[in-house]
Amino acid sequence: MNVYGLFGESLVHSYSPSLHKLIYQKIGLEAAYQLFAFPPTQLKQAMDGIRTLSINGVNVTMPYKEASISYLDEIDLFAQKLGAVNTIENVNGKLIGHNTDYDGFGLILTRRGWEIRGKIAVILGSGGSSKMVEAYLMDHGIKRLYIVSRNPERFKNTSKKKYTNYEEVQSLTGDFLINTSPVGMYPNNKATPLNEKTIKRFDRLIDLIYNPSETTFLRLGRENSKQTANGLDMLVGQAVRAVEIWENCSIDEKVTEELITEWKNQQGESL
């Protein structure tokens, strides 16, 4: 039986084991999925442990999506472009990095029919998840993109993309406001990266956080009649793609839709 898992620093909020169990049941796969939480100082030992313990593959979450790259034997071209990995496969002791978050994020938009082309978007956060969202938006024709960072001077602006800080973002207006930061994640549910006044100036809000299912950020958007989406679709989408990589298989889109429906029903969340 193959063994998979999740690498992260704090994983008490993670739904991944339950979700992967559901995926394995759907496709008739005998496999186990475990959580591996550890501090940043133990990242090298954890990466070595994939080989030592013959773990077949792992997902990678904050804060290791970028830091883990230096310990890999190979990284696919797409993950290189994004500068972040969230999926590692162990091929006979050779660790290969991939990024399936891109496909997962796209699922949030396509399932709702939200068009990106010609729109203005603001991304909160500048880490690995932010880079993935940036790549998706750029690939799908975003007109103008603002990326909010605590240290925007570290980055280079382009004709379509500008880095800014959390003070300046309060004067921006746009179509999409996307939170890729951990602000609002369990157990700090009451926190929000932006205040209600700023949130009101955007039409659609996306929060990559999925626990809680409605963050304070999204609640403020809903209460002001904004369209909102959390990160559950992305969680399911990236997990399905990871299993496809690990098992070298193809999972039908209908299965993904069934997984989303069943998972959200289990969590008591309406579609």
Q: 269 is written with which tokens?
A: 């969340």
> What DSSP character marks residue 140?
T
Indicate which residue of 21, 26, 44, 65 is catalytic: 65
- If you compute the radius of gyration of the chain from its CA atoms, what whole number of angstroms results? 18
Work out whether the CA dihedral 250, 251, 252, 253 comes out positive or negative.
Answer: negative
C-alpha torsion 215→231→99→118, nearest 10: -100
What is the rounded distance in angstroms from the CA atom of residue 255 to the CA atom of residue 26?
Answer: 7
Catalytic residue at 65?
yes
Contact 242, 29 (CB under 8 A): no
Contact 87, 104 (CB under 8 A): no
Rounded to whole angstroms, what are the CA distances from 73 to 51, 241, 247? 12, 21, 19
What is the rounded distance in angstroms from the CA atom of residue 146 to the CA atom of residue 46?
Answer: 35
Rounded to whole angstroms, what are the CA distances from 224 to 72, 198, 199, 211, 228? 45, 11, 9, 21, 11
Active site residues: 65
